[in-house]
Amino acid sequence: MRLSYKIYTKTIRNPLVLKLIPDSYAKNKLQSMQRKKICKKIKNFKSLAKKIAKNYTADLIIEGHYHQGVIIDNYISLPSFACSGKIAVYKANEVLFPNFRLKKYYEPQSIGIL
């Protein structure tokens, strides 16, 4: 981890710094994040995944940035729990996306800012 990132994360977690940030700023930031549409499928994701995979020499690439919940050749894009309520399970050298959901206890649509 780079030193600049360590300094940045320590700074933004400092209680004094947090007190200096107005509540209105934090509330506005949270509201803008809430409006952001994160649950979407990316068009032509297969070609993007192949481009990403070319940058690595590993036998298997597992990433959680795009959250598409698909397996393309040796590239695995993990699903977004917030959008689908699904998880990925790695078991016996296999990655599975079990067909169960926690909707009884968890409704992704009900996430909100108080």
Predicted structure pTM score: 0.57
- Sequence-separated (6 or more) residues with CB below 8 Å from residue 51: none
Same domain, 12 and 65: no
Residue 65 sits in which domain range? 45-110
Read off φ and ψ for residue 24, nearest 5 degrees: -65, -35
Is 40 among the domain residues? no
Hey, what are 112's tokens? Answer: 């909100």
pLDDT, tens only, 23-69? 888 788 888 877 878 788 999 999 999 999 999 999 999 998 999 98
Same domain, 50 and 83: yes
Is 87 among the domain residues? yes
Q: How many structural domains is the chain composed of?
A: 2
Position 100 pLDDT exceeds 80: no
Same domain, 22 and 64: no
pLDDT, tens only, 82-95? 888 788 888 888 88
Same domain, 55 and 31: no
89-91/94-96 β-pairing: antiparallel
Identify the bridge partners of residue 75 per DSSP, sorted by sequence position. 61, 72
Is 77 among the domain residues? yes
Same domain, 52 and 70: yes
Report DSSP letters for the chain, one per residue. Answer: --HHHHHHHHHHT-HHHHHHS-HHHHHHHHHHHHHS----PPTTHHHHHHHHHHT---S-EEE-SS-EEEEETTEEEEEPHHHH----EEETTEEE--S---TTT--GGG----
